[in-house]
């Protein structure tokens, strides 16, 4: 607010994170004489606590799942309520959001432990340990409706989005409209969303989320109110692309007292749009987020803004911090129908390059290529059910990446003297044409003549970052390939004599002391970064020579934590 006054601004737009759903902040902005670009503090408060939001929804005639939303929070009270609701069920933090404070309870014997865990997380995350119980939908789809209201009593919807592709209750790929949505169900769902917005006098952009029973065909009796997000959503670009509207411009118009620009029957529905969240995380390592310097980042194809949109918060040369969420960009595509949009998404993900930090682009491409996503039969739990099939890059992708680098390193076309030709000539033996190649911590000698190129593997895209360092993108899977200059460099890397911090963060525990014997893979230390705990393993068998840091220390990326005795 001080910055707004100092610059002469008369309004504050909170974006879609941090303070965007903070009623106290919205109220403070208005009391300071500034315009709040968003719903009123009263509307935010009414939709904030999940139990109160569901009570209002029920009164407005919006379908709500069976559950317990009472004041009593004692174990005995909740146990009786759980019996009435029936197992399996979900425990949900009343003040929750972002997938936190949620626990699955399959049977009565699990209730006490899961309840205690949910309450602890809710108190830590939201400062409010209250919970509610809700009947579990076992193959849920997540479908939400974009609503918009103004100060003149007008409320419209801009159709629905399907956000069912999730990992750990966090959205991965979102699309609009929802696949397989019948006209009568769309009418019922959007009508319910508009009724709820009207019930709280809603102004600005908002999203009404519904849970849908994915085990049955979409019907007017298979969806229930989940919650309302009183802000602009991360995935709002897919709505913009199918309607041709600028939702942020709508927000500014409404905040300035104008009416919504279009009546309900004037809002078009054009084609299909899909958004993929580009994150600095490693799906193969439990979606571990990664901080660090971005060496190369961007799309390796033109962006026209109509069929391909690229919303990025980072670029080559930026450093990804460990303090925030791992999402660093959004890729949005539009096609004349869903098949065309899926094809464009998979193609564009193959041309998305991110090196220096982990990337989920290959994982996103495998999700989009799957039969379940193509058919629209995926659901919220689907990614977890697939295991390594989605999270592990195909060996052919890394193989193709290494072959591409070896081809560059062993290229003789630039040689100007016989001494520069690397043809592997030996006076008394067979030619040897090998390159020492490092991918991550794995270093080995590689002879291209001993390997065939998989004809079905995607074409690798190689970017020369610095001498003998290459960023390679193959089918959306990004690797950093390095070529050590001398044999000694190879041996040094292969030695693995230390454990270093992979990113900035706080050291939580050190499990070894000098003189301890460790086996490769043993947990050596635990650190916290990007809101997650990370266990650091021993790189090889050996004896601990020294420990360079202690629990509680703040460490930088690359700081050596533990040394092993030289072999």
Q: What's the gap between Cα 30 and its chain centre?
A: 33
Contact yes or no for 290/350 (Cβ under 8 A): no
Task: Select the more confidently predicted residue: 44 or 439.
Answer: 44
Q: What is the pLDDT of residues 282-337, one digit of tens each?
A: 998 889 898 888 988 999 888 888 999 999 999 999 999 988 889 999 999 999 99
Query: Would you place residue 474 in the very low, low, confident or very high pLDDT band (cuts 50, 70, 90)?
Result: confident
pLDDT of residue 410: 67
Same fold, 45-63+138-270 and 496-564: no
Q: Average pLDDT for residues 2-28, to the nearest whole number?
A: 92
pLDDT of residue 450: 62
Mean pLDDT of the chain: 87
* Beta carbons within 8 Å of 503's beta carbon, 6+ residues apart: 289, 290, 291, 292, 322, 529, 530, 534, 557
Active site residue 231: yes
Angle between helices 338-350 and 361-369 (to 10 degrees): 150
Identify the weakest region by mean pLDDT among 5-14, 207-216, 419-428, 477-486: 419-428
Task: Name the CATH topology of 45-63+138-270.
Answer: D-amino Acid Aminotransferase; Chain A, domain 1 (3.30.470)
Domain definitions of the chain by residue range: 45-63+138-270, 66-136, 271-386, 396-491, 496-564
List the catalytic residue out of 161, 167, 231, 277: 231
Q: What is the pLDDT of residues 102-160, one digit of tens each?
A: 899 999 999 999 999 999 888 888 889 999 999 999 899 999 999 999 999 999 999 99
Q: What is the pLDDT of residues 339-359, one digit of tens each?
A: 999 999 999 999 999 988 889
β-bridge partners, 90: 104, 134
pLDDT higher than threshold 50 for residue 190 = yes
pLDDT higher than threshold 50 for residue 490 = no
What's the pTM value of the predicted model, to 2 decimals? 0.79
Query: Would you place residue 199 in the very low, low, confident or very high pLDDT band (cuts 50, 70, 90)?
Result: very high
Q: Which CATH architecture group holds 496-564? A: Beta Barrel (2.40)
* Beta carbons within 8 Å of 176's beta carbon, 6+ residues apart: 159, 160, 161, 162, 238, 239, 241, 242, 272, 273
pLDDT higher than threshold 50 for residue 547 = yes
Multiple choice CATH, 66-136, 3.40.50.720, 3.40.50.300, 3.40.50.1220, 3.30.1490.20: 3.30.1490.20
Contact yes or no for 230/146 (Cβ under 8 A): no
Multiple choice CATH, 396-491, 2.60.120, 3.30.1460, 3.30.700, 3.40.630: 3.30.700
pLDDT of residue 513: 96
Task: Name the CATH topology of 271-386.
Answer: D-amino Acid Aminotransferase; Chain A, domain 1 (3.30.470)
pLDDT of residue 486: 47
Identify the weakest region by mean pLDDT among 72-76, 162-166, 373-377: 72-76
pLDDT of residue 423: 47
């Amino acid at each position: 607010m001080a910055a707004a006054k100092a610059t002469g601004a008369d309004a504050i737009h909170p974006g879609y994170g941090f303070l965007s759903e903070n009623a106290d902040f919205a109220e403070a902005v208005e009391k300071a004489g500034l315009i709040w670009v968003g719903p009123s503090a009263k509307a935010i408060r009414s939709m904030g606590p999940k139990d109160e939001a569901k009570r209002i929804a029920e009164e407005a005639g919006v379908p709500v799942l069976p559950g317990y939303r009472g004041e009593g929070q004692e174990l005995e009270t909740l146990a009786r309520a759980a019996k009435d609701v029936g197992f399996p069920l979900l425990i949900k933090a009343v003040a929750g959001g972002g997938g936190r404070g949620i626990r699955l309870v399959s049977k009565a014997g699990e209730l006490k432990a899961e309840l205690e865990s949910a309450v602890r997380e809710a108190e830590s995350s939201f400062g409010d340990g209250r919970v509610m119980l809700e009947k579990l939908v076992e193959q849920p789809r997540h479908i939400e409706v974009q609503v918009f209201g103004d100060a003149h009593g007008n409320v419209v919807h801009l159709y629905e989005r399907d956000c069912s592709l999730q990992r750990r209750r966090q959205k991965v790929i979102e699309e609009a409209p929802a696949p397989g949505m019948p006209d009568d169900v769309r009418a019922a769902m959007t009508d319910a969303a508009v009724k709820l917005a009207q019930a709280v006098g809603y102004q600005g952009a908002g999203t009404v989320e519904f849970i849908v029973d994915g085990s049955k065909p979409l019907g007017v009796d298979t969806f229930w109110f989940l919650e309302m997000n009183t802000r602009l959503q991360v995935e709002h670009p897919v709505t913009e692309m199918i309607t041709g509207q600028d939702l942020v411009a709508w927000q500014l118009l409404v905040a300035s007292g104008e009416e919504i620009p279009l009546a309900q029957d004037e809002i078009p529905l054009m084609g299909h749009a899909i958004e993929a969240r580009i994150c600095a995380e490693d799906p193969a390592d439990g979606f571990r987020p990664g901080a660090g310097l971005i060496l190369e980042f961007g799309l390796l194809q033109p962006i026209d803004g109509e069929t391909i949109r690229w919303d990025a918060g980072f670029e080559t040369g930026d450093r990804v911090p460990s303090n925030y969420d791992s999402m660093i960009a959004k890729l949005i595509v539009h096609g004349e129908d869903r098949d065309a949009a899926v094809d464009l998404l998979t193609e564009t993900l193959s041309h998305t390059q991110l090196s220096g930090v982990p990337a989920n682009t290959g994982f996103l491409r495998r999700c989009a290529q799957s039969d379940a996503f193509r058919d629209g039969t995926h659901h919220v739990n689907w990614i977890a059910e697939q295991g390594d099939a989605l999270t592990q890059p195909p060996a052919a992708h890394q193989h193709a990446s290494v072959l591409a680098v070896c081809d560059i390193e062993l290229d003789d076309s630039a040689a100007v003297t016989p001494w520069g030709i690397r043809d592997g000539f030996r006076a008394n033996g067979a030619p040897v044409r090998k390159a020492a190649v490092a991918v991550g911590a794995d270093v080995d000698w590689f002879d291209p003549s001993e390997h065939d190129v998989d004809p079905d593997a995607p074409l690798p895209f190689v970017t020369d970052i610095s001498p003998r360092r290459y960023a390679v993108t193959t089918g959306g899977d990004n690797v950093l390939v390095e070529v050590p200059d001398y044999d000694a460099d190879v041996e040094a890397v292969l030695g693995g004599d230390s454990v270093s911090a992979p990113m900035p963060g706080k050291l939580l525990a050190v499990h070894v002391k000098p003189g301890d014997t460790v086996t490769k893979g043993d947990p050596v230390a635990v650190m916290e970064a990007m809101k997650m705990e990370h266990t650091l393993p021993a790189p090889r068998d050996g004896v601990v020579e020294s420990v360079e840091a202690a629990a509680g220390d703040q460490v930088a990326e690359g700081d050596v934590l533990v040394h092993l005795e030289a072999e």
